[in-house]
Amino acid sequence: MSPVRGRSRSATQGSSRSAERVAATQHVWVRDDATSYAAECEACLYARDPVPPREAQVHGTLRPRADVGFTSCRRGHRIVVRRIGRALASAV
């Protein structure tokens, strides 16, 4: 008796990429004491014709008193800049 079992590997890794998450406007969170920010535009990074991360860079400044700001990347994607400290503080 030889318990030989035929191992049949069924390694089917379903790699399904969906670009649906890009549809939402990207939010960049800025620290409470920060007046400038830098981020990468996700819409650019995950676009069908993606740009190198270097070119997806978005940066700007947010006034100390401002809680929210708006900017756009080089390709024109809208990005919302939000200050993280007060948003959390007011939520508690």
Terminus-to-terminus CA distance in the chain, angstroms? 69
Cβ neighbours for 39, distance < 8 A, ≥ 6 positions apart: 26, 28, 57, 58, 59, 79
User: Do strands 36-40 and 26-30 pair parallel, antiparallel, or not at all (unpaired)?
Assistant: unpaired
Cβ neighbours for 31, distance < 8 A, ≥ 6 positions apart: 83, 84, 85
Residue of 43, 62, 71, 81 that binds Zn ion (CB under 5 A) = 43
**34 or 51: whose CB is closer to Zn ion?**
51
30 binds Zn ion (CB under 5 A): no
Q: Binding segment for Zn ion among 19-27, 28-36, 39-47, 60-68 (CB under 5 A)?
A: 39-47
Residue of 39, 44, 62, 81 that binds Zn ion (CB under 5 A) = 44
Residue 74 CB, nearest distance to Zn ion (Å)? 7
21 binds Zn ion (CB under 5 A): no
| Binding region for Zn ion (CB under 5 A) | 41, 43-44, 73, 75, 77
